[in-house]
Structure 1
Amino acid sequence: MSEITDEDRERVKLLHLITTSKNEFKNLSLDQLKRLQELVEKKDYSHDKKAHKSKVKLLGKINVRIYELTEGRGIWG
């Protein structure tokens, strides 16, 4: 069994912040979002098709929120 790393702990902590809130990503700062994006991208879920699909979906949501914070509220909002 693989050892739990500090990065694993940090990733779980950030994921916990977005899953325990109705506003999901709105509670995270830009730096936290970028760090979460980096940590999720590093994690390999190729052995589990469902987990990999969830990872891709989550990365899409993170990218949207980063775009909203850097470029303004969004195209339609």
Structure 2
Amino acid sequence: MEDELKMLLQAVSDKGLRVLSLDELDRLRVLLSAKDYGENKKADKSKKKLLRQVNVEIYNRHNPRRFF
């Protein structure tokens, strides 16, 4: 579980969220939600920011915007 989280975070760090499939994004969301950073406020803030970005990316893939 920890290794899978590290692998997904490394992929996001290198190339961004767009390289992950929907299944991988969902798995990343689940793993991040389960991770507890305890007293480390900076890590917890980063976790919440990344979770917001993951949720937005999942939403955008399910509901693509169409520009005319």
Give TM-score scaled by structure 1 length. 0.81
Aligned positions, number: 67
Give the whole-Å Cα distance in 2 for the aligned partners of 1:52 and 1:29: 24
Residue 33 (structure 1) aligns with = 25
Residue 12 (structure 2) aligns with = 18
Identity rate of aligned residues, in percent? 42
- After TM superposition, give the deviation of residue 67 of structure 1 in Å: 0.4
Residue 57 (structure 2) aligns with = 65
4+ runs of 1 displaced by more than 2 Å? none
Q: Are residues 73 and 28 of structure 1, via their aligned partners in 2, closer, same or farther at CA, if it must alter by over 3 Å? A: farther
Give the whole-Å Cα distance in 2 for the aligned partners of 1:69 and 1:54: 23
- After TM superposition, give the deviation of residue 73 of structure 1 in Å: 3.7
Asked if 1:42 is matched to 2:34, the reply is yes
Gaps of 5+ in 2: none
- What do you get for the CA RMSD once the two structures are aligned? 1.5
More RCO (CA 8 Å, sep 6+): 2
Normalized per residue, the structure richer in helix is 2
Give the whole-Å Cα distance in 1 for the aligned partners of 2:49 and 2:58: 14
Paired residue type of 2:30: E
